Structure 1
């Protein structure tokens, strides 16, 4: 009898130990849980020629920006699956390899073709989903809708699967169907509580509907079950820090930053390291709270090592925050020049919104910042990430309105936000408004 993964897809291994470790490792990856790498290594040790275990291990390397290791695993998996693998496994390996290699358009095309043929291949389906998935970083202006529609298309194949419910619910939330999205996500979370992606997706729904107190309680109750080495541990606490800022509690936000978000303390992947630290410190400053310059300098030093060159637009925007906050105009100018060249060469998927945001952050004239950001607010979605993360750009625009004397426009935007999230607290803006 052929061995299968948890979704009933055949596996080209005769080792029960390898198949079992692979199933467990895949589930741990889908849950964002610790032990993923070690479990996949056990699968590889049990069957060194098992291609799917190698490509899954490469995917974990890619999460942590271990590019050479990830690409090495992808190359090996391609060789192995060509010798011993089904058509589905060859397509699986090729699709994940393209994603690992950063070939986004090809990876997206391969993913969609693969899912049409094998809709229950969850590791492939996971590629375009989430705030850091292929769709989010494609430069598409409608990537929230694309994720939702993809999940709707394959929902019949998953039923009450704990992973799929959490991710499809989050896709609903990000696409604006917050009430339904929260309900579906919570259903998946309750099926498997040891699922960081589900906890994270629930927090996004709570952010969108303004359930700040409930989100804070959820983190306090759940986070002790999740090791600090977990891929989303720091980011989940980042959500809790945002909740503290809704109450104007900068002291608590800074305490969370010191505990798990600052580069010296976090065990998060590089992209989370720079985006969580930069965005939280920037928000604190924008809302009128004092941020020690040393925190910016320490975080900037780490960021420059992790992202020395222009790469993802989402990363570049956060690197602009570091350069602006540390008044490093040379760094801003150098990165902006590379970004503008990539735009001119047609190699910047997010388009001109990225250099525009760069210039808006760099300019200390609030009136100019307003003029730059106002025309592109509708295009900010193209940089990727989640709505909660991208709201930083709108916050910067609101602060620029306030500080350039356009309080009625600022208040109108805040009122619109409170209308969308009626239980939201407004204390974070008191210091900013002086």
Structure 2
């Protein structure tokens, strides 16, 4: 599970068969069910784990309670529980992993400093891990997301050397290369590494998405679309629905921004997938991607989702606050061709973008949209300002192409 490698389900099932009273195996299996959005099974196994843990050690009971709180959508309880647990048992990697990553508890907390929080807790517990392959994977990625790109890349490379069969390290290294603008190296690395990675592993489709980003940067739109069709689009794939939906919607949107046509059937597929797996507002990262798909397919779905988001915001249940709503409204305005309105909505929301969670690479989509809106609205100076700031951070062929477009306008 910690290496994001196919086989965790079978391993937990075998552990339970060997010892039906092993609470930690039950809660681990429940977590896998949750990742696959098998909510009923996840909650049932979490309840069983709780019952089995009554006679276990305090350490095991705490471990079970934390992951059960995640499964039961009680993130505040899970975060406080995990932080306290780790102060006493810092080497419980499964508990620490709940806080980390693009989809972890910190990332989806709505707080703007979640990247710094992930790095801080990794550094706090680093003395207990040494050269542990899993910990180094997440320490490296946390540095990358916090903007310490050179350190992040070196640590990710070291993690790969310690254990190459580690999709989390491959993922972190892909992010480091992306953030450094080293797209060719990222594509070469993944093309050499991915054939050994079981296609059923839950990160395989997302790593293909990273390959597609490198092709987009090289202006190979057909190649990026082929990656979507072969590895990402909803077609009975064994990946977590949140990955399938967000990767699919974001890649199609990026392709559309780059000028790719003929995407309408794909948009309909992704929108239908979103309606199936995320029919109500609540998972805010899914909600902002739901806006991408439904803005392109039309109808009332986006307006309905916005009303739901407004209701959650009024009740204080929308963790990123108004930023998530304004991102959705801005996307709708952009899709309708109202670029002035898109700019009005997106500009302040982009300043709060980190609140929606995910990785920097995933969130960059909304800044991309703002750039294109400025260009199409004739605000070449504003577009150039955003692009220049990005080019100062890393080279990008796509940003350079947009800079030329801004000059032409």
**Under a length normalisation based on structure 2, what TM-score does the superposition of the two structures give?**
0.96
The residue number in structure 1 matching 2:296 is 325
Render the CA deviation track for 1:50-93: whole Å, top value 9, x for unaligned. 0000000001111111111111111000000102x111001000
Which residue is 1:19 aligned to?
none
Give, in whole Å, the separation in 1 of the partners of 2:350 and 2:59: 41
Matched, 1:345 2:315: yes
Matched, 1:31 2:3: yes
SS at structure 2 position matched to 1:130: coil
Distance 1:385 1:430 in 2: 26
Q: Of 377, 380, 397, which aligns to 2:353?
A: 380
> How far is the alpha carbon of 1:424 from its aligned partner?
5.1
1:419 matched residue in structure 2: 392
Structure 1 residue 48, shift from structure 2 partner: 0.2
Question: 1:49 — aligned with what?
Answer: 21
| Structure 1 residue 265 displacement after superposition | 5.7
Equivalence for 2:227: 256
Computed over aligned residues only, the root mean square deviation of the Cα atoms, in angstroms, reads: 1.4
Matched, 1:212 2:183: yes
Find the aligned partners of 1:291 and 1:168 in 2 and give their Cα distance.
41
| 2:373 counterpart of 1:400 | yes
The equivalent of 1:312 in structure 2 is 283
Which of 277, 284, 299 is the matching residue for 2:255?
Answer: 284
Q: Is 1:97 the equivalent of 2:59?
A: no
Give the 3 Å change call, closer, same or farther, for CA 371–322 of structure 1 in structure 2. Answer: same
1:235 paired to 2:184? no
Query: 1:87-142, CA deviations, whole angstroms, 9 ceiling, x for partnerless residues?
Result: 10010000110011110111100000100110000000000100000000010110
CA distance in 2: counterparts of 1:428 and 1:69, whole angstroms = 48
Structure 1 residue runs without a partner (length 5+): 1-28
- Mapped contact 1:248–1:429 kept (Cα < 8 A): no
For 2:2, what is the secondary structure of its paired residue?
Answer: helix
SS at match of 2:98: coil
Q: For 2:189 and 2:116, how far apart are their aligned partners in 1?
A: 27
Determine the C-alpha separation between the residues in 2 that align with 1:413 and 1:349: 27
Is the alpha carbon distance of 1:432 and 1:321 closer, same or farther for their aligned partners in structure 2, counting shifts above 3 Å?
farther
Query: Could you tell me how far apart the structure 1 residues matched to 2:17 and 2:127 are?
Result: 36
Cα displacement (A) at 1:376: 2.1
Q: How far apart, in 1, do the equivalents of 2:43 and 2:380 lie?
A: 51
How far 1:429 sits from its partner (Å)? 3.6
Aligned-partner Cα distance in 1 for 2:342–2:9: 44
Q: What is the CA-CA distance between 1:354 and the residue it aligns to?
A: 0.9
CA distance in 2, matches of 1:424, 1:70: 44
Q: Give deviations 1:379-433, integer Å, cap 9, x for gaps.
A: 1100110000000010111111011011121122112111111365546648976
Equivalences for residues 184-195 of structure 1 within 5 A: 184-195=155-166
CA distance in 2, matches of 1:423, 1:298: 30
Q: Structure 1 429/247 Cα, relative in aligned 2: closer, same or farther at 3 Å? A: farther
Counterpart contact for 2:69–2:75, Cα < 8 Å: yes
Q: Specify the alignment match of 2:137 in structure 1.
A: 166
Determine the C-alpha separation between the residues in 1 that align with 2:152 and 2:264: 39
Moved more, 318-327 or 290-299: 290-299
User: Do the aligned residues in 1 keep the contact of 2:218 with 2:397 (CA within 8 Å)?
Assistant: no
Alignment of 1:357-372 (within 5 A): 357-363=327-333, 364=336, 365-372=338-345
- Larger displacement relative to structure 2 (410-419 or 153-162): 410-419
Q: Is the 8 A contact 2:107 2:114 kept in 1?
A: yes
Bigger shift: 371-380 or 317-326?
371-380
